[in-house]
Amino acid sequence: MGRIRRLVAAVALAATATTTIAACGGDEGGDGSDAKTLKLWHYESANSAMGVAWDRAIQIFKDEHPGVEVQFERKAFEQIQQNAGMIINSSEGPDIMEYNKGNATAGLLSSQGLLTDLTDEAEKRGWGDKLSPSLQTTARYDDKGVMGSGNWYGVPNYGEFVMVYYNKDLFDKYGVTVPTTLDEMTRAMDTFVSKGVTPLAEAGAEYPAGQLFYQLALSKADRAFVDDYQLYKNPVDFKADPLKYGAETFADWVRKGYVAKDAASLKAEDMGTAFISGKAPMIVSGSWWYGRFKDEIRFNWDSFLFPGNKLHAGSSGNLWVVPANSKAKSLAYDFIDITLRPEVQALIGNNGGVPVAADASQISDPKDKKLIENFNTVSQQDGLAFYPDWPVPGYYDVLVSGFQGLINGSRTPDQVLDAIAKPYADGVKEITGK
Amino acid sequence: MAVTLTPAGSTARRPRPARDRHHRGVSRWVVLALVTLGALVMLVPFAFMLLNAFKSPGDYSTGGPLSWPSEFYTKGLRTYWSEVDFPLKLWNSTLIAGSVAVLGVVVSLLNAYALGIGRVRGRLWIVGLFLLANMLPQEALIYPLYDAAKQVGLYNTRLAVIIIFTVIQSAFGTYLLASVLSTFPRSLLEAAALDGASRWTVLWRVVFPNLRPTLAVLLIFFFIWTWNEFLIPLVMLIDNSTQTIPVALASLQGDRLMDAPTTNAGSLISLVPAILFFLIFQRTLARGITAGAEK
């Protein structure tokens, strides 16, 4: 009797399974010029600059494509970060989605053949003319998935760069003016230290410390160094300038009290709130904070480019990619094109984001305008140097532990450079095979 | 147990054992104070969550997590509720966790009946295997599971998650119940057999009623464990319409930015169903835990 029931249960389960298969195996599309839906995913929050601008882009798209339904879903960053490969390798994935730039993400998927080559569209629609060369670096990947050359696999909409945010009220209070060279910056920080104020909020437990080191190194670097470090053109000597200068200056800044020793264990969020609450006169960090600062800060504040640098940590933002399994490719191209239009780009700028192809004169708020002008300056002089943890997989943790040691004084600059040189060399060897 | 703690000294005025809870001396109050302290410590994280759930982001950033909110801010709660379509996620979570709890218990019982009472050959090995399957990290299973689900067309369906967790949970359930059942009084089974009961009847009329408290606890555990699962639902359920509450909660965490007050608000809302569930079933839980102790 038991056997019979178990059998019935098994048959029932099998039956449900087959019906689901039948339900799923429905539509298989070609390049999708006749597609009637566009499944679109991104992970920007609704009130962020990109969220607002892309809502508008979706609206424009709907107006221009009557009869096409846009199925938009806001995803969790975590979900895309962890599963993008699995998602777009199935038939359940989106037709177009936002995805992280870089070798380990977009590069990896492109080398696995999961992304559509956008080179023809980029040429036809003139995307290449709208994006400066250093922005294009993260849009193009070679057959090994290394950025910088090869086909277009993604299109960025916004940029990001590391700058100095400063508290104007504190600057006025202590009679400090905005520095334009690294020397002036040092003097400004000396003034704060002499008044008992730690000038720079830092966060050793996350990305900010590595970015400050990189920013300092870049003050002595040229484009060739960036190509060597990021694109493996030539081997990088960690014991020579600019990296040596970066680590030594960083240690110097810690010793002189520009950076607090207890910052070693702080997270980026702590650094941000230290600035928002008005305790820290300055932070060196990226434009991703800008919108939040604008919403939450009550005092006078502004930003300036890291003084004296021609090169700045920064890159294009995340990319629009079209999965190889997309069922509505031509609609996806149309949508990407809309997001690069001046109207949408200006919306990014007017909401505290950094558009890649905006006319600064279209930006109304003076502070926003300055941000975008700064970015355009950097971008046009080919000054985006990407991020220090990009070159090899897993390098982020290496840098964090290295500079934690430097901030709390347990390691000398020399030891830190040794500690970060080896994983870099190993990683590069694995990627290039040399 | 309780009797051994009774001070048997001559100071006791009456020979009556100290059943009266007001006359047990100082140590009782010390214990009570310690327990209260422990409970308060446990409640601190919840207090923080509650405090920050009603704080505006600006307030949080300037005042930090410890400050008292300057206004009663409910936008975080409302944003989370509407942006993730909370009722839908609640339904998904309930459906998945509920199905897994029931199916997992049924499968565990059937397996354990075969292993514990049926005395299948090599049952020790089989039970060991189940335990091993239960201890395997989910990260190691994720790619095979993804591939299998994709091939049978169950990827991105709640059914896939239900099947996976039914198997995972019942591995533990089988292990537990099999050891419970191996000590099941033989005389009861023999009496039933003498009365001419079939195996099925023995299971339902003899074993099941005796195991009910244990099964109830198992059911609750399966429900709560499945409710809290993150990785497998994250991988398997890619559409917003099929996702569970923990996955929805993760959508509040951005690339480089976090929104602490909204995350707190989201956690608060997400916690409520679990608390309600616990309140409803706590009696069963307590009964189940002590069920075996009275023998």
| Contacting residues of A for B102, CB less than 8 Å apart | none
Question: Does B240 contact A73 at a Cβ distance shorter than 8 Å?
Answer: yes
| Contacting residues of A for B237, CB less than 8 Å apart | none
| Contacting residues of B for A78, CB less than 8 Å apart | 234, 250-251, 253
DSSP A355: B
Distance from CA of A3 to the nearest CA of B (A): 9
pLDDT of residue A132: 86
The overall average pLDDT reported for chain A is 86
Q: How many CB atoms lie within 10 A of CB A255?
A: 11
Buried b / exposed e along A104-128 (16+ C-beta atoms within 10 A): bbbbbbbbeebbbbbeebbeebebe
- Closest residue to A276, CB basis, from B61, B152, B159: B61
Burial category of B52 from C-beta neighbours within 10 Å (exposed 0-12, middle 13-18, buried 19 and up): buried
Q: Rounded CA gap, A402 and A404, in Å?
A: 6
The CATH classification number of B87-294 equals 1.10.3720.10
Q: Rounded CA gap, A358 and A346, in Å?
A: 6
Tokens representing B163? 């099947």
Is residue A73 less than 8 Å (CB to CB) from chain B? yes
Question: Does B253 contact A77 at a Cβ distance shorter than 8 Å?
Answer: yes
Q: What amino acid is encoded at A206 in this protein?
A: E
Beta-bridged to residue B123, according to DSSP, are none
Is residue A74 less than 8 Å (CB to CB) from chain B? yes
| Pairs across A and B, CB distance < 8 A | 107
Question: Does A277 contact B63 at a Cβ distance shorter than 8 Å?
Answer: yes
Tokens representing B179? 């050891």
What's the gap between Cα A52 and its chain centre?
A: 18
pLDDT at residue A279 above 80?
Answer: yes
pTM, 2 dp:
0.78
Question: Does B234 contact A24 at a Cβ distance shorter than 8 Å?
Answer: no
Question: Does A83 contact B234 at a Cβ distance shorter than 8 Å?
Answer: yes
Question: Does B256 contact A207 at a Cβ distance shorter than 8 Å?
Answer: yes
Distance from CA of B35 to the nearest CA of A (A): 33
Task: Give Cα separations from A68 to A125, A326, A335, B150 (angstroms).
Answer: 21, 15, 12, 28
Predicted confidence pLDDT, tens digits, chain B (295 residues): 333 444 444 444 555 555 565 666 888 889 999 999 999 999 998 888 888 888 887 788 777 777 788 878 888 888 888 878 889 999 999 999 999 999 999 999 999 988 888 777 888 888 888 888 778 888 888 889 999 999 999 998 999 999 999 999 998 898 888 888 888 888 888 888 888 888 888 888 888 888 888 898 899 889 988 998 888 998 888 888 888 998 888 877 766 667 778 888 888 888 888 888 888 887 777 766 665 544 4
pLDDT at residue A218 above 60?
Answer: yes
- Closest residue to B146, CB basis, from A25, A86, A289: A86
Q: Rounded CA gap, A55 and A192, in Å?
A: 44
Q: Judge contact between A206 and A285, C-beta under 8 A.
A: no
Contacts of B113 (CB under 8 A, 6+ apart): B181, B203, B207
- Closest residue to A86, CB basis, from B83, B235, B253: B235
> H/E/C letters for each residue in B236-250?
HCCCCCCCCHHHHHH
Is residue B287 less than 8 Å (CB to CB) from chain A? no
| Contacting residues of B for A273, CB less than 8 Å apart | 60-62, 64
- Phi, psi of A57, rounded to the nearest 5 degrees: -60, -40
- Closest residue to B256, CB basis, from A24, A82, A268: A268
Q: How many CB atoms lie within 10 A of CB A325?
A: 20
- Closest residue to A90, CB basis, from B155, B199, B260: B155
Tokens representing B156? 């991105």
* Sequence ranges of the domains in chain B: 87-294
- Closest residue to B254, CB basis, from A45, A46, A82: A45
Question: Does B83 contact A24 at a Cβ distance shorter than 8 Å?
Answer: no
Nearest CA in chain A to B65: A273
Question: Does A92 contact B238 at a Cβ distance shorter than 8 Å?
Answer: yes
> Mean of the pLDDT values across residues A73-78?
83
Q: Judge contact between B202 and B193, C-beta under 8 A.
A: yes
Q: Judge contact between A377 and A311, C-beta under 8 A.
A: no
Q: Rounded CA gap, B130 and B133, in Å?
A: 5
Size of chain A in residues: 434
Question: Does B83 contact A74 at a Cβ distance shorter than 8 Å?
Answer: yes
pLDDT digits (tens, 9 = 90+) for A145-200: 888 889 999 999 999 999 999 999 999 999 889 999 999 999 999 999 998 999 99
Nearest CA in chain B to A279: B62
CA-closest candidate to residue A80, choices A344, A323, A372: A323
CA-closest candidate to residue A217, choices A244, A191, A235, A197: A244
pLDDT digits (tens, 9 = 90+) for A232-243: 888 999 988 899
Name residue, tokens 């079939």: B198
The C-alpha angle B263, B268, B274, rounded to 5 degrees, equals 130
Is residue B221 less than 8 Å (CB to CB) from chain A? no
- Domains contained in chain A, CATH given: 37-158+317-358 (3.40.190.10), 160-314+385-432 (3.40.190.10)
Q: Rounded CA gap, A343 and A211, in Å?
A: 32
DSSP string across A370-421? HHHHHHHHHHHTT-B-B-TT-SSTTHHHHHHHHHHHHHTTSS-HHHHHHHHH
Enumerate residues 207 to 226 of chain A having a beta carbon within 8 A of any beta carbon in chain B. Answer: 207
Q: Rounded CA gap, A351 and B272, in Å?
A: 35
CA-closest candidate to residue B240, choices B139, B24, B126, B91: B91
- Phi, psi of A353, rounded to the nearest 5 degrees: -100, 180
Contacts of B290 (CB under 8 A, 6+ apart): none
CA-closest candidate to residue A322, choices A66, A65, A118: A118
Question: Does B63 contact A79 at a Cβ distance shorter than 8 Å?
Answer: no
Question: Does A277 contact B260 at a Cβ distance shorter than 8 Å?
Answer: no
ipTM of the complex: 0.71
- Closest residue to B253, CB basis, from A78, A86, A93: A78
